[in-house]
Each structure stands twice: as structure tokens, then as C-alpha cells.
């Protein structure tokens, strides 16, 4: 599990842009920002705390009076707390994964019947948005592409298009759906891919947006074969 509390320096750097003016300015802005970032970090991890006890702990340490709980006992408390958190996160991930399986299966079944959509033996679904005239890459080639990735609810989780900078990578170093899908394309083509979770990130998911067993949609334009394997 990620550390419950970041260092003061890390907290001061994280999420400052998200602060909003909702009233009178605090007497000590840096301390206030540190506080808001501690809260954002805890909230983002789903950690529930007793505010009174949290403030008491901060006060005791910052004023130099020391913790009211002995170090050995504090370690036991944190070990149990972390175990409980991991169990909760595991249960939440399992529930999310089950939901994603059901929604993904329904989406793939419907999408597979849509006009222009083809499905490969692996389960990869694709449709041609624009057909190019260049060569097709091999699995060992390095390619340059523009892409736009979304979840089934339309949320964008990654996009070189939004960043305004194409991505370059070896085809044998990416997720299975990309390795297979890009080999179907000719340079200059733009395809839409729908990847079953087993061709994407599977049960583990990826980052904060791609949950376990997520079906992913990509619009990919193959710009060039940067390096072709011999």
C-alpha cells in the first residue's frame, strides 16, 4: 500500500493547482496547503480518519511533546491498519473487476455486430477509419503513432493527440492488442480498436483510471515505421 502520509515537501508539491478560494485567506498559506494536501492524499486513498485524533497527533509531534502511543504499539496499530486497508482495497477491486467483466462482455457482443467492425480470432475488434497505402509493420518493428484511448464510459485515460506529440515504441513492447492490431494497419491508416481486457491490462488494470478487467477503446493512426527489424 502507498504511504499514508507523504513528506511535507512532497505534499507541498502535490495538488496545489487544485486549491480553491472558498473564504478568507488562511493566516499561514503554506501550512494550509500542506494540510489540504494531506487531506487530499488520505481521501484519494479512501482512508477514513478521526479528525480530532489526527490533529492531536500532528500537534504532539510538531510541538515536540512526542507521541502518546509507544513506538512498538504504534507499529502494531499501523500494521493492522494497513492489512485492513489492503483487504478493503482487494474487495473493492474484486467488485469492480466483476462489474467490468459483465459490462465489457455486453459491450463487445453489441459492438461486434456493428457495421464495419471485424473481430479477430483473439477477440480484438477493429474498424477502419482511414486506409493508408504504406507498408505494414512487423511485431519486431518500432513505430510512430498518434492515439486516443478511452474507457467504455468515454473517459479519456491516455491520448497522444491531446498531448500534441506522437508516441514511438517497439511493437513487441506494448500490450497484446496493440501488437496484434498495429500489424493489421498500413502506414497512413487510422483504425479504431476495441480491446478485450485480456488483450489490454487484464485483472491488474493500470494506473488510477484503468480498473481490473477493463475493455479499452483506442483510435490509432500509424504515422510511420521508425525502425524495421531485419
Active-site residue set: 147, 157-158, 175, 201, 218
* Neighbouring C-alpha atoms within 13 Å toward the C-beta of 125: 20
- 38: cell is 494531506
Distances (CA, A) of 163 to 88, 122, 132, 145, 167: 35, 31, 23, 13, 10
Q: Tell me how far apart the alpha carbons of residues 194 and 217 are, in angstroms, rounded to a whole number.
A: 4
* Neighbouring C-alpha atoms within 13 Å toward the C-beta of 156: 9
Q: Tell me how far apart the alpha carbons of residues 165 and 70 are, in angstroms, rounded to a whole number.
A: 53
Residues 6+ apart with CB under 8 A from 100: 197, 211, 212, 213, 214, 215
* Bridge partners, residue 147, by sequence: 220
- 154: cell is 468515454
* Bridge partners, residue 188, by sequence: none
Q: What is the DSSP letter of 136?
A: P
Amino acid at each position: 500500500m502507498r504511504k499514508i502520509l507523504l513528506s511535507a515537501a512532497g505534499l507541498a508539491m502535490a495538488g496545489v493547482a487544485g486549491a480553491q478560494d472558498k473564504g478568507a485567506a488562511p493566516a499561514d498559506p503554506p501550512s494550509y496547503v500542506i494540510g489540504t494536501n494531506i487531506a487530499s492524499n488520505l481521501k484519494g486513498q479512501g482512508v477514513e480518519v478521526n479528525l480530532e485524533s489526527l490533529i492531536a497527533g500532528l500537534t504532539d509531534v510538531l510541538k515536540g511533546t512526542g507521541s502518546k502511543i509507544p513506538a512498538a504499539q504504534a507499529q502494531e496499530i499501523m500494521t493492522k491498519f494497513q492489512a485492513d486497508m489492503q483487504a478493503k482495497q482487494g474487495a473493492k477491486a474484486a467488485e469492480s473487476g466483476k462489474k467490468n467483466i459483465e459490462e465489457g462482455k455486453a459491450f463487445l457482443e453489441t459492438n461486434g455486430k456493428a457495421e464495419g467492425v471485424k473481430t479477430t480470432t483473439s477477440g480484438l475488434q477493429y474498424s477502419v477509419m482511414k486506409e493508408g497505402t504504406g507498408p505494414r509493420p512487423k511485431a519486431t518493428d518500432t513505430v510512430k503513432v498518434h492515439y486516443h484511448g478511452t474507457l467504455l464510459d468515454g473517459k479519456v485515460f491516455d491520448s497522444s493527440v491531446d498531448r500534441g506529440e506522437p508516441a514511438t515504441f517497439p511493437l513487441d513492447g506494448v500490450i497484446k492488442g496493440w501488437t496484434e492490431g498495429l500489424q493489421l494497419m498500413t502506414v497512413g491508416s487510422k483504425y479504431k480498436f476495441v480491446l478485450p481486457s485480456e488483450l489490454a491490462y487484464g485483472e491488474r488494470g493500470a494506473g488510477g483510471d484503468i480498473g481490473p478487467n477493463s475493455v479499452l477503446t483506442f483510435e490509432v493512426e500509424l504515422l510511420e515505421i521508425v525502425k524495421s527489424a531485419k
